[in-house]
């Protein structure tokens, strides 16, 4: 097999706008799936509404596409009923952190064995360019014509604070780092979160003077620093930057195993 065997080539062309990097995430996931030889009969991908939610339609796995913000709720049900399955939730930032924010923090608290991949393009792309909980202060959106006034979520800190046992950030510019991070996350036992910085030239870019796809990638490159670089920087220098790397990689009892032991104790 090759990574192309994990792609539904008959679904092409891609749904994305020119310059959107959700295709980069799709490609990276397929390559990692091939490296890990993920069993298509034992892997389920759950997604919801939005641009990132359409990524799985190009991946040759059983896919459950659900209502907006509910990917983790459905993924939890699949994992509890079929603990032997590998369950992956592919979400956008608005989907995972706004509409689905409650499911996100409780999935982390429970430490259920699901890999959550959150594409952070900093805006609601498919629904018209409204601001998301990740839109940076000052950035323009259709619902923030004078600039975003609210602070943005730090996805990784929120995931770590809620109890996720694997938390990492990567981006669509550093594709080898993206693939390495996805590979580690998919092998982790417990609730794993990977935030992927992606770009939306159509909705975010054209409202913020970076509509050129290449400039959006250069923006990601300029905004990201490694953990080693971050250690040498002052808080002022780190303001507005995204540190990429692995922040949490630990273990604690996983939810389906806790349920199995509880049921065994009751003779179920």
pLDDT tens digits for 112-164?
999 999 999 999 999 999 999 999 999 999 999 999 999 999 999 999 999 99
The average pLDDT across 38-43 equals 97
Q: What is the 3-state secondary structure (H, E, C) of the chain?
A: CCHHHHECHHHCCCCCCCCCCHHHHHHHHHHHHHHHCCCCCCEEEEECCCCHHHHHHHECCCEEECCCCCHHHHHHHHHHHCCCCEEEEEEEHHHHHHHCHHHHHHHHHHCCCEEEEEEECCCECCCCCECCCCCCCCCCECCECCCCCCCCCCHHHHHHHHCCCEEEEEECCCHHHHHHHHHHHHHCCCCEEEEEECCCHHHHHCCCCCCCHHHHHHHHHHHEEEHHHHHCCCHHHHCCCEEEEEEEECCCCCHHHHHHHHHHHCCC
Q: How far apart are CA 229 and CA 113, in angstroms?
A: 32
In contact, 76 and 114? CB cutoff 8 Å? yes
Work out the percent of the chain whose per-residue pLDDT is above 70.
99
Model pLDDT, residue 14 = 81
Angstrom CA distances, 71 to 41, 43, 113, 189, stand at 20, 15, 14, 19
CB-based burial of residue 35 (10 Å sphere; 0-12 exposed, 13-18 middle, 19+ buried)?
middle
Q: How far apart are CA 129 and CA 140, in angstroms?
A: 9
The average pLDDT across 245-249 equals 98
The average pLDDT across 213-239 equals 97
In this prediction, residue 267 has a pLDDT band, given cuts at 50, 70 and 90, of: low
In this prediction, residue 85 has a pLDDT band, given cuts at 50, 70 and 90, of: very high
Is the sign of the CA dihedral 208, 118, 251, 225 positive or negative? negative
Question: Mind listing the pLDDT tens digit for each residue in 168-214?
Answer: 999 999 999 999 999 999 999 999 999 999 999 999 999 999 999 99
**Average pLDDT, rounded, for the chain:** 95
pTM for the predicted model, two decimal places: 0.96
Asked if the model's pLDDT at residue 265 lies above 80, the reply is no
Pairing of strands 43-47, 114-120: unpaired
Model pLDDT, residue 13 = 86
Q: Which of 121, 108, 102, 4 is nearest to 52 (CA)?
A: 121
Model pLDDT, residue 180 = 98
Pairing of strands 166-171, 224-226: unpaired
In this prediction, residue 268 has a pLDDT band, given cuts at 50, 70 and 90, of: low
In this prediction, residue 266 has a pLDDT band, given cuts at 50, 70 and 90, of: confident
């Amino acid at each position: 097999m090759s990574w192309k065997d994990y792609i539904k080539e008959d679904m092409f062309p891609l749904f994305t706008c020119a310059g959107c990097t959700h295709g980069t995430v799709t490609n990276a996931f397929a390559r990692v799936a091939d490296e890990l030889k993920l069993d298509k009969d034992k892997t389920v991908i759950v997604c919801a509404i939005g641009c990132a939610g359409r990524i799985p339609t190009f991946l040759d796995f059983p896919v459950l596409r659900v209502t907006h913000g509910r990917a983790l709720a459905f993924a939890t049900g699949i994992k509890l009923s079929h603990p032997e399955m590998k369950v992956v939730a592919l979400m956008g930032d608005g989907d995972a952190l706004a509409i689905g924010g409650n499911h996100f923090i409780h999935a982390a608290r429970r430490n259920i064995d699901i890999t959550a991949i959150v594409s952070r393009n900093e805006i609601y792309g498919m629904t018209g360019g409204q601001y998301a909980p990740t839109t940076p202060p000052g950035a323009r959106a259709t619902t923030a014509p004078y600039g975003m006034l609210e602070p943005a979520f730090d996805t990784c800190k929120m995931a770590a604070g809620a109890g996720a046992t694997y938390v990492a950030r990567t981006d669509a510019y550093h594709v080898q780092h993206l693939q390495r991070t996805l590979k580690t996350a998919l092998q982790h036992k417990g609730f794993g979160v990977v935030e992927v910085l992606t770009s939306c030239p159509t909705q975010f870019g054209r409202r913020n003077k970076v509509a050129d796809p290449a400039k959006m990638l250069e923006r990601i490159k300029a905004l990201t620093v490694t953990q080693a670089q971050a250690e040498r920087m002052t808080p002022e220098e780190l303001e507005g930057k995204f540190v990429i790397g692995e922040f949490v990689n630990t273990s604690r009892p996983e939810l389906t195993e806790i349920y199995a032991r509880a049921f065994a104790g009751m003779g179920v």
